[in-house]
Amino acid sequence: MSSLAIITSVIGLATLLGGVAALYAPDTTRRALLGLPRHDVAGWALTAISLFWAGWLLLNTPPFSEFAHIEPLVYAGMPFAFFALVLYLDELLAARALGGFILLLASPILAAARWHPSSLSRLISLLTYFWIVYGIVLIVAPFYLRSLLVSLTRSHTRFRICSLFGAGLGAFLLLLGLFVF
């Protein structure tokens, strides 16, 4: 199984499960989604994961491996960076951290899709580029996540349609990952 197949299957399964959860428990899911941008624990967790991942990339990937001599400073600076972000960017931190996580997640997806022989891998690349643009928007203007979630959850019908679309997209990505890639 190629790395693109694994990545696409995992993203498809997560999207499918999210869509199905929204279909079966719409009120709980709506409350959770509307509370996400200001959720402290989610913001702290996403910030910690993103900082750890960025630090690992800084020390272990070829373009940045020149920084290996400052490895102790990176390890010492990550907790300070975490506390500075949590303290000074506490307003909509979860939305900003989600944007950073999306940007970090895009790199391995694009690397896996770049050399895959299937022409459908371009579809995954296109979806990833949409994520990149939205990740940048979330970092710069995190209130757009709240605006999007309010718009998507405004009515039961609209939320059900979005949930069906999410479940369908997840099923499509899962099938792509399992049978095409």
In this prediction, residue 11 has a pLDDT band, given cuts at 50, 70 and 90, of: very high
Within a 13 Å sphere around the CA of 1, how many CA atoms are in the beta-carbon half?
Answer: 11
Measure the CA–CA gap between 74 and 64, rounded to whole angstroms: 12
Summarised one tens digit per residue, pLDDT across range 32-91 is 999 989 898 999 999 999 998 888 877 777 766 666 677 777 778 888 888 888 888 878
Q: Is the pLDDT of residue 29 over 80?
A: yes
| Contact yes or no for 175/12 (Cβ under 8 A) | yes
Domain-wise residue ranges, the chain: 3-180
- Looking up tokens 């996403």 gives 46
Summarised one tens digit per residue, pLDDT across range 118-129 is 888 899 999 999
Q: How many CB atoms lie within 10 A of CB 16?
A: 20
In this prediction, residue 116 has a pLDDT band, given cuts at 50, 70 and 90, of: confident
| pLDDT for 26 | 92
Q: Is the pLDDT of residue 1 over 60?
A: no
